């Protein structure tokens, strides 16, 4: 646990989510789900560490409206209250400052989305199955968690559900066991994962491998409604090439595998989760019309999932870099150049009011188009200012130095400053911290070549030594 995770203040956009008095580092979730009645029963074993300073007399988990069976801390029944999405727990014996402890919670009920300004978040019951799309604060709709993006943990998730359904999460499938008419799927995700990025899909899906089973590289699999398999195979055929490109540009893929689900439902937008992305049937048309979204979701595995923002005000770091990855894929796959894409985005952003600071857009405008488009433009402005060599070194360094870590916009600004000897502070301030749109980035002509050194007069002088010496 980095000190940053302990001392960070509550998220300014979602001050009620998460608890900084402790750090959860592993969740073991055992779930039983019946799709028909949409009934979920779960037990969670959470391994955690108390914050420094004082014994942990009280702490809170985020959990929506469920019936609580019991709550144990270090195996002993704890006193708790459960109100307004907060499970407040008073251990029988307070864990000492900095000490490891465990929490067990049993809960059950009918999961439903958490209400938000962007519609329902989290657990979504589908016509036949369910999916989870939690960004930014939907995770408590289905399991008890320390719901702040900076509190990353490893996960083991076991789901038992009728055998006709597939269960998909990001992570490695450890076992799949069928007893009577139910099947238990056990997945493990050892990489540090933010609660909003714990994904889950339950549905009638066909697995479609996108890579050779033993072909080397990152294993990639789709789970799709059988009728969409041909369209899916066409639309996602270039994903392995995207993976290769992004590994070249951003460094090694941060997880063991990558899974995409096409949920059997239309979705407004695809959503990223750890090692996983979920698309809607409307994003698959057999004509690759949505390929930019395939690139966008894959890029989030580096920007957002591995390198995670410590608070939601830094959202442009996720979306601006994923947007720019779309443009890089276009440029490197025979489509329009990133510069051309940036010009189009600039025209688009020009038409919007210039009243948003993307470096801190405010909770209501967290997912505003300008965060994405101007975010991509900010990255492009840096590329133009730094030049390709320094820019791509900077970008790869950002993803690899901060792999599986937690960052802020200030960290990014400092990283860029370290990556170049050109002054970029004013440029980043203009793009991130001011509402007015800066001029479109154009390459300044390189400085005229330095005049040839008035070549080594000393040498010549020395050569013109007096004859005879
Ligand atoms: Zn995105």
- 122-164 pLDDT, tens digit per residue, is 999 999 999 999 999 999 999 999 999 999 999 999 999 999 9
**Distance between CA 176 and CA 183 in Å, rounded?**
7
Q: How far is the CA of 239 from the centre of ligand 1 (A)?
A: 17
In the predicted structure, residue 4 carries a pLDDT above the cut 80: no
How many residues does the structure list for the chain?
Answer: 469
User: Would the pTM of this model clear 0.85, i.e. be above it?
Assistant: yes
In the predicted structure, residue 459 carries a pLDDT above the cut 90: no
At residue 464 the predicted structure's pLDDT band, cuts being 50, 70 and 90, is very low
Per-residue pLDDT, 33: 98
104-118 confidence digits (pLDDT tens): 999 999 999 999 988
Give the rounded percent of residues in the chain with a pLDDT score beyond 70. Answer: 93
Q: How far is the CA of 344 from the centre of ligand 1 (A)?
A: 19
240 within 8 A of 208, measured Cβ to Cβ = no
In the predicted structure, residue 1 carries a pLDDT above the cut 70: no
360-383 confidence digits (pLDDT tens): 999 999 999 999 999 999 999 999
Per-residue pLDDT, 450: 58
Q: How far is the CA of 351 from the centre of ligand 1 (A)?
A: 22
146 within 8 A of 101, measured Cβ to Cβ = no
Lowest model confidence (mean pLDDT) among 114-128, 308-322, 401-415 = 114-128
Per-residue pLDDT, 257: 96
Q: How far is the CA of 366 from the centre of ligand 1 (A)?
A: 11
Q: How far is the CA of 278 from the centre of ligand 1 (A)?
A: 12
At residue 214 the predicted structure's pLDDT band, cuts being 50, 70 and 90, is confident
**Distance between CA 10 and CA 14 in Å, rounded?**
8
At residue 6 the predicted structure's pLDDT band, cuts being 50, 70 and 90, is very low
Q: How far is the CA of 445 from the centre of ligand 1 (A)?
A: 34
With H, G, I as helix, E, B as strand and everything else as coil, classify residue 84: coil
Q: How far is the CA of 365 from the centre of ligand 1 (A)?
A: 14
215-252 confidence digits (pLDDT tens): 889 999 999 999 999 999 999 999 999 999 999 999 99
Q: How far is the CA of 321 from the centre of ligand 1 (A)?
A: 9
Q: How far is the CA of 44 from the centre of ligand 1 (A)?
A: 29
CA atoms within 13 A on the CB side of 221: 17
Give backbone dihedrals phi and psi of 75, rounded to 5 degrees, phi first. Answer: 80, 0
Q: How far is the CA of 455 from the centre of ligand 1 (A)?
A: 55
CA atoms within 13 A on the CB side of 8: 25
61 within 8 A of 144, measured Cβ to Cβ = yes
At residue 213 the predicted structure's pLDDT band, cuts being 50, 70 and 90, is confident
**Distance between CA 354 and CA 81 in Å, rounded?**
45
In the predicted structure, residue 458 carries a pLDDT above the cut 60: no
**Distance between CA 173 and CA 143 in Å, rounded?**
20
Q: How far is the CA of 277 from the centre of ligand 1 (A)?
A: 11
Per-residue pLDDT, 68: 98
Contacts of 167 (CB under 8 A, 6+ apart): 159, 161, 183, 185, 187, 200, 201, 202
136 within 8 A of 121, measured Cβ to Cβ = yes
With H, G, I as helix, E, B as strand and everything else as coil, classify residue 1: coil
Q: How does the average pLDDT of the chain come out, rounded?
A: 93
Instruction: Report the candidate in 4, 17, 11 with the shortest Cα–Cα distance to residue 87.
Output: 17
In the predicted structure, residue 452 carries a pLDDT above the cut 80: no
Q: How far is the CA of 372 from the centre of ligand 1 (A)?
A: 8
Q: How far is the CA of 300 from the centre of ligand 1 (A)?
A: 7
Q: How far is the CA of 296 from the centre of ligand 1 (A)?
A: 6
In the predicted structure, residue 453 carries a pLDDT above the cut 90: no
**Distance between CA 196 and CA 312 in Å, rounded?**
11
Q: How far is the CA of 269 from the centre of ligand 1 (A)?
A: 9
Alpha carbon dihedral 382, 434, 316, 341, in 10-degree steps, equals: -50
What is the SS3 assignment for 138-174?
CHHHCCCECCCCCCCEEEEEEEEEECCCEEECCCEEE
Of all residues in the chain, what percent are helix, strand and coil, respectively (each to 5)? 30, 30, 40
């Amino acid at each position: 646990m980095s000190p940053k995770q302990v001392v960070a203040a509550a998220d300014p956009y979602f001050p009620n989510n998460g608890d900084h008095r402790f750090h959860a580092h592993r969740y073991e979730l055992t779930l039983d789900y019946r799709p028909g009645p949409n009934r979920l029963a779960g037990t969670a074993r959470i391994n955690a560490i108390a914050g420094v300073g004082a014994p942990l007399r009280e702490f809170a988990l985020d959990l929506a409206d469920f019936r609580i069976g019991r709550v144990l801390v270090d195996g002993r029944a704890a006193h708790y209250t459960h109100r307004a999405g907060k499970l407040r727990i008073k251990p029988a014996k307070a864990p000492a400052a900095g000490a490891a402890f465990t929490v067990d919670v049993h809960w059950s009920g009918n999961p439903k989305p958490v209400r938000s300004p962007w519609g329902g978040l989290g657990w979504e019951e589908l016509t036949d199955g369910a999916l989870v799309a939690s960004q930014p604060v939907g995770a408590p709709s289905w399991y008890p968690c320390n719901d702040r993006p900076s509190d990353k943990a490893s996960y083991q998730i076991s789901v038992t559900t009728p055998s006709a359904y597939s269960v998909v999460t990001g992570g490695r499938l450890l076992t799949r066991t069928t007893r009577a008419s139910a099947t238990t799927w056990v997945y493990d995700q050892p990489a540090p994962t933010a609660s909003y990025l714990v994904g889950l899909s339950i549905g009638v899906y066909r697995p479609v491998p996108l890579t050779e089973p033993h072909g080397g590289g990152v294993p990639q699999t789709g789970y799709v409604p059988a009728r969409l398999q041909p369209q899916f195979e066409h639309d996602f055929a270039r994903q392995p090439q995207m993976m290769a490109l992004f590994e070249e540009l951003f460094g090694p893929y941060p997880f063991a595998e990558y899974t995409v689900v096409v949920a059997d439902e239309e979705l407004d937008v695809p959503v990223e989760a750890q090692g996983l992305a979920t698309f809607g049937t409307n994003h698959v048309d057999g004509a690759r019309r949505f390929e930019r979204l395939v690139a966008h979701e894959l890029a989030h595995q580096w920007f957002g999932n591995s390198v995670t923002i410590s608070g939601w005000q830094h959202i442009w770091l996720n979306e601006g870099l994923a947007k720019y990855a779309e443009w890089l894929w276009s440029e490197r796959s025979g489509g329009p150049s990133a510069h051309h894409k940036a010009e189009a985005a600039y025209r688009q952003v020009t038409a919007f009011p210039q009243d948003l600071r993307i470096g801190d857009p405010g909770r209501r405008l967290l997912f505003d188009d300008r965060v994405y488009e101007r975010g991509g433009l900010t990255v492009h402005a840096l590329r133009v200012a730094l030049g390709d060599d320094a820019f791509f070194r900077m970008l790869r360094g950002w993803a690899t130095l901060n792999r599986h870590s937690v960052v802020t916009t200030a960290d990014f600004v400092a990283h860029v400053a370290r990556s170049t000897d050109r002054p970029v502070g004013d440029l980043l301030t203009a793009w991130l911290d001011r509402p007015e749109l800066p001029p479109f980035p154009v390459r300044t002509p390189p400085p005229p070549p330095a005049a040839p050194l008035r070549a080594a007069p000393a040498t010549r002088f020395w050569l013109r030594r007096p004859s005879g010496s």
